[in-house]
């Protein structure tokens, strides 16, 4: 199964069984996935904004959490573990209602116990307006029967 199809199936699972994601991020679209990398987009709507009518920092923090999880999924883990650490740096306003934001998440280190991810957010001018990092405890996630880790592992060339 290609990474994009698998990551979208994990995103669908979040939307079907979580309380937060379907309420806040249901319109989020995963646009690209390869092992260790995920891109997604979100059109800013009223529920994503603060009282200043700009993108709410909590929405961004939720996308750091989700983006880290999807980056882990891009390595083949269906159960993406639990958060141990999450960090967000806000560089500027992300936009207002009607603007499209883009995110690029990566799984920077993928081990048997922990996965370390990072993410950057771009506005409609392709300027970085926020970045984040997310650490996931994945030891128990390795047992999920829906995992396809072997299929999405980087291939080592014979003779290397």
Quick check: 16 pLDDT over 60? Answer: yes
Mean pLDDT of 37-52: 97
DSSP for 10-49? HHHHHHHH-SSHHHHSTT-EEEEEETTEEEEEEE--GGGB
CA distance 160 to 150: 19
Average pLDDT, the chain: 94
Residue 4, classed as helix, strand or coil, is: helix
State whether CATH 3.30.450.20 applies to domain 3-149.
Answer: no
CA distance 66 to 1: 21
Specify the pLDDT at position 144: 95
């Amino acid at each position: 199964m290609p990474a994009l199809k698998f990551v979208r199936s994990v995103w669908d699972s979040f939307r079907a069984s979580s309380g937060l994601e379907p309420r806040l991020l249901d319109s989020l679209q995963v646009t690209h996935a390869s092992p260790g990398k995920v891109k997604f987009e979100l059109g800013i709507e009223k529920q994503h904004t603060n009282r200043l009518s700009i993108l709410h920092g909590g929405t961004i923090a939720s996308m750091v959490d989700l983006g880290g999880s999807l980056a882990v999924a891009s390595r083949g883990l269906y159960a993406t573990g639990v958060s141990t650490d999450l960090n967000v740096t806000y560089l500027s306003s992300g936009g207002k209602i009607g603007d499209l934001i883009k995110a690029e998440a990566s799984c920077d280190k993928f081990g048997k116990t922990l996965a370390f991810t990072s993410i950057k957010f771009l506005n409609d001018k392709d300027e970085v307006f926020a970045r984040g990092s997310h650490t996931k405890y994945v030891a128990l996630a390795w047992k999920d029967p829906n995992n396809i880790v072997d299929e999405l592992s980087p291939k080592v060339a014979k003779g290397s």
